[in-house]
A and B are shown apart, each in its own frame.
Chain A
Amino acid sequence: MMEVSPSTVSFREFGCEQTLLSRPDGSASFVQGDTSVMAGVYGPAEVKVSKEIYDRATLEVLVHPKVGLPGVRERSQEQCVRETCEASLLLSLHPRSSLTLILQVLHDDGSLLSCCLNAACMALMDAGLSMSCLFCGVTCAISTDGEIITDPTAAQEKESRALMTFAIDSKERRVMMSSTKGSFSVHELQQCITVSQKASEKIFQFYRDSVRRRYSKNL
């Protein structure tokens, strides 16, 4: 039985800034250690006829890499984020309209997908869109000696045997999305899910603190 030592299960320092761009309806930048992502949301707005859905809003997610043009990696990240957002947003409130979420990678130092998810959630909150629950992303890496590392850096990701990212909802701490890489046992998967669920509490607490700060009268 492998042990989860408390030293590896920790978050790097994280920070968030909302409403930092003037043009989008909602914007946020999320920083986890050195990894940082900026997100902008437009909508609900008019939708192209070809993309119109008669009973709910069309959600479009775009991920822009730092260097070069979006490729397959970005497409898969887009899909992961879109499916998570679709599950939490109340899209049926805005039929025949479009929501656009743009994520710009500012720096990648590991746990990029979870950072994208967190930035997306903060931006959607900032845009004031109705959601059934909040969500957050947690990345776990299993190192070669079986240790679980949460929020790994790029170097830790490289050395790890398996990498998992989960989107956790705020209501029941359920897994909304999972994206895994590498091989692991069922037991390890369950362990990582449990770790992520526990770790998500910290992120949701951070969400709460930042919203409280935002609507407070003094700093």
Chain B
Amino acid sequence: MKDTPLANCERDFLLKAIEEKKRLDGRQTYDYRKIKITFGTDYGCCFVDLGQTRVMAQVSCELVAPKESRPNEGIMFFNLELSPMASPAFEQGRQSELSVKLNRQLERCLRNSKCIDTESLCVVSGEKGWQIRVDVHTLNNDGNLMDAASVAAISALCHFRHPDVGIQGEEITVYSPEERDPIPLSIYHMPISVSFAFFQQGTYLLVDPCEREERVMDGLLMIAMNKHREICSIQSSGGIMLLKEQVMRCSKIASVKVSEITELINRALLNDKTARKAGGRCGFAESMPQERITALKMGQRSVEMTDVSETASSIVQTAEAPLQTVPSPLVPVPGVGQVGEGLCNAWGLEEEEEENEDGESSGGDSVAGVTKMEDEQHKDDKSRKVDVVEILDSDEEEEEVVILYPETTKKAKLMRRGQENDSEDGFEEEVSENEDDMEHIQTKKKQIEKSSDDDNDHAKISVTLMSKNGNSSWFLSPPENQGRPLAENGFRMTPPIKYATSWTDDN
């Protein structure tokens, strides 16, 4: 799904407002939106609301073998996911440019600044160490995801506690939180990212741009800094040229903002700690606002269950009993078992077709099948007193093969077919067959002429057409019908064939 485009008038309006030192939400140039930090029920879960932007971070840990290059250190892994919930423009499972940029910035801000003591995460040198994984989920994108993500990630890391481990000789024991109190990570400092948006080629500057402002900005400067005013990473994107003074001014603003935010995080952590100590409920469920009309909470409710058992048994009793009989399996061929209905085909037609197909594919049989049909049709045609021979049109010679009636030829063909099909070579054989048959026809013609001389009155001739796509056969009608296939036979005739009448002339 595409993001809603920003109208030109909207863009102009925003830029004009910025020129007049006004912001849409009434903030001043250096103001942050309201930041709210909430901790979840389990350790290492943190929600950050930055105005309407909402981000969740969850830290988890796992015992893994450390990297070979750093056997005495644990592993830090960061994953920032742009969930499609945050914005319609974010797609599931696709690494967008923005996602790569934010992931990289988060890594530089938190891993490369060495704010976490990774050596304390080592359990057994070169064998076992903790892998700390930080998942940052974006829930709602209203601009400045990076700042929200960095606050969420560092707060979650401060909040997180990993299980205690004990080493006795070769054995490593991981203690559950009930057995031994889990251990917090040792964090040296808290880098926090602060974003600056630039407009009109760096003329105007805004802190913490919202989504609309991000869309019209020319460039973005992200400074990650800790409260000791040490810059941990700095990144400029968007291709604007910044002056030295501008960067210096930004870093000054950042130092103020960072100390404010660090103070807020510390307060939130302390608040959560006291709440946990007091044994009170904490977490997302507790942080749900009560005063909003869009929110409602309901206390524990019990459900009356007086006649559940009775209803259930009545349903079971009234239900139709399932069929108990299981048909015995049928074994049509060794290695195949069948159970259930539909073993015999009710569609006689289909079965016949199958048989025909089988017959055709198995070579020799097909000829038998065809000849059988021919015989049947002969019976039909007897009434017509056919005394006809047929001849092919010279133009179509490649297409058809004619087999003429006399017993000898049929048998010969049968034999020939049988031999050819033994070789099991489809196409080429068929071609040669056709050619052979052409010669065959030539000889048969003479035979016919002879035979028609022999019994003038009742010469019946069957014609088998060998087209490339299969067998089809039909009969020529008596001379008065002049070479039209009989409609009743319903056999398909491939390409329109002109029937030579020359044979009658010859006769």
Residue numbers of A with Cβ under 8 A of B are 1-4, 6-7, 9-24, 27, 29, 31, 33-34, 36, 38, 40, 42, 45-46, 62, 64, 66-68, 98, 100, 102, 104, 106-107, 109, 148, 150, 186-188, 190-191, 193-195, 198-199, 201-202, 206, 209-210, 213-214, 216, 219
Contacts and interface: CB of A to CB of B under 8 A. Distances in A.
B127 to A, nearest CB: 24
A98 B298 CA distance: 34
Contact of A21 (B1, B60, B139): B139
Interface in B1-58: 1-2, 40-42, 45, 52, 54, 56, 58
B1 A22 contact: no
A104 B56 contact: yes
Given A42-B1, A199-B303, A13 B85 contact: no
Contacts of A20: 294-295
Nearest to A103: B85
Contacts of B293: 213-214, 216, 219
Contacts of B302: 6-7, 9-11
Contacts of B56: 104, 106
A11 B139 contact: no
B433 interface: no
Contact of B41 (A13, A100, A109, A191): A109
Contacts of B300: 10-13
A195 B297 contact: no
Candidate in B42, B81, B87, B137 with the most chain A CB atoms within 10 angstroms: B137
B83 A102 contact: yes
Candidate in B137, B285, B288 with the most chain A CB atoms within 10 angstroms: B285
Given A198-B305, A214-B294, 7 more contacts: A17-B288, A31-B288, A34-B41, A107-B45, A190-B316, A194-B312, A210-B296
B69 interface: no
A20 B141 CA distance: 12
B238 interface: no
B142 interface: yes
Contact of B296 (A16, A150, A186, A190): A16
Candidate in A9, A36, A38, A188 with the most chain B CB atoms within 10 angstroms: A38
A48 to B, nearest CB: 9
A68 B77 CA distance: 11
B294 A4 contact: no
Contact of B140 (A11, A22, A46): A22
8 contacts: A3-B309, A12-B300, A23-B85, A23-B88, A67-B135, A68-B133, A100-B1, A148-B308
Contacts of A1: 309, 313
A10 B303 contact: yes
B11 to A, nearest CB: 19
B345 interface: no
Contact of A194 (B133, B292, B301, B308): B308
Contacts of A21: 52, 54, 85, 139-140
B184 interface: no
Secondary structure type dominating chain A contacts? mixed
A33 B140 CA distance: 24
Contact of A106 (B87, B284, B297, B304): B284
Given A11-B303, A31-B288, A209-B298, A45 B140 contact: no
A30 to B, nearest CB: 10
A203 to B, nearest CB: 9
A77 B84 CA distance: 18
Contacts of B83: 64, 102, 104
Nearest to A126: B294
B1 A9 contact: no
Nearest to B281: A34
Contacts of A100: 1, 84, 88
Q: Ordered nearest first, which 5 A-B pairs have the shortest CB separation?
A: A15-B297, A190-B312, A17-B295, A191-B312, A10-B302
Contacts of A213: 293, 296
Interface in B294-335: 294-305, 308-309, 311-313, 315-316
Given A4-B305, A219-B291, A14 B298 contact: yes
A40 B85 contact: yes
A89 B25 CA distance: 37
A195 B1 contact: no
Interface of B: 1-2, 40-42, 45, 52, 54, 56, 58, 60, 81, 83-88, 92, 133, 135, 137, 139-142, 283-285, 288-289, 291-305, 308-309, 311-313, 315-316
A171 to B, nearest CB: 19
A10 B41 contact: no
A107 B308 contact: no
Contacts of B309: 1-4, 191
Contacts of B283: 34, 107
A195 B302 CA distance: 12
Contacts of A104: 56, 83, 85, 137, 139
A68 B1 CA distance: 24
Contacts of B294: 17-20, 214
B289 A17 contact: yes
B23 to A, nearest CB: 17
B296 A209 contact: yes
A203 B45 CA distance: 28
Nearest to B92: A62
B284 A36 contact: yes
Nearest to A28: B294
A6 B137 CA distance: 40
Contact of A13 (B2, B295, B299, B312): B299
A214 B293 CA distance: 5
Contacts of A102: 83-85
Nearest to B88: A42
Given A34-B283, A195-B303, A42 B84 contact: yes
Nearest to A11: B301
Contacts of B313: 1, 187, 190
A67 B304 contact: no
Contacts of A9: 302-303, 305
B210 to A, nearest CB: 10
Contact of B133 (A67, A191, A201): A67
A18 B45 CA distance: 22
Contact of A15 (B54, B140, B288): B288
B182 to A, nearest CB: 16
A107 B284 contact: yes
Contacts of A38: 85, 139
B316 A150 contact: no
Candidate in B56, B288, B303, B311 with the most chain A CB atoms within 10 angstroms: B303
